[in-house]
Amino acid sequence: DQQVKQNSPSLSVQEGRISILNCDYTNSMFDYFLWYKKYPAEGPTFLISISSIKDKNEDGRFTVFLNKSAKHLSLHIVPSQPGDSAVYFCAASDAGGTSYGKLTFGQGTILTVHP
């Protein structure tokens, strides 16, 4: 049972426009969410995170929104740049439980930003 789902395998966006990547989760115990970015032949790198006590977190061009009632989060990239082309993984954790530190990942979304 996939507890974290990224239903869009790929997304194509024009440079300068907004990229919106979506993620849904089913486990109501998840209370900390992260986005990772992965280039080919490299390991994932941390991008941005959000705690369940917030509904928005911003870091430069990247903003993550959390809708707890819908169990949905999204990553907005504005403006998108060709260097943002990568695979984006959503991840979730149960911070307060015994699964401390364990991350559950979504399947990933391939973002392509065209010049």
Partner 1 sequence: NAGVTQTPKFQVLKTGQSMTLQCAQDMNHEYMSWYRQDPGMGLRLIHYSVGAGITDQGEVPNGYNVSRSTTEDFPLRLLSAAPSQTSVYFCASSYVLGQPYEQYFGPGTRLTVT
Q: Would you tell me which residues interact with partner 1 (CB under 8 A)?
A: 4, 6, 9, 32, 34, 36, 41-46, 49, 89, 91, 93, 95, 100-108
Report in angstroms how near the CB of residue 16 gets to partner 1 at its nearest.
29
Pull the structure tokens for residue 4. Answer: 């974290």
CA distances from 70 to 67, 97, 98, 106 (A): 6, 22, 24, 17
Report in angstroms how near the CB of residue 41 gets to partner 1 at its nearest.
7
| Three-class DSSP category at 84 | helix
Report in angstroms how near the CB of residue 60 gets to partner 1 at its nearest.
16
Q: Which residue, 23 or 113, has its beta carbon nearer to partner 1? A: 23
Give residues with Cβ within 8 angstroms of 88, minimum separation 6.
6, 21, 35, 36, 37, 38, 47, 75, 108, 109, 111
Q: Which residue, 8 or 79, has its beta carbon nearer to partner 1? A: 8
Q: Which residue, 79 or 107, has its beta carbon nearer to partner 1? A: 107
Report in angstroms how near the CB of residue 100 gets to partner 1 at its nearest.
7
Distance, CA of 25 to CA of 72 (rounded, Å)? 6
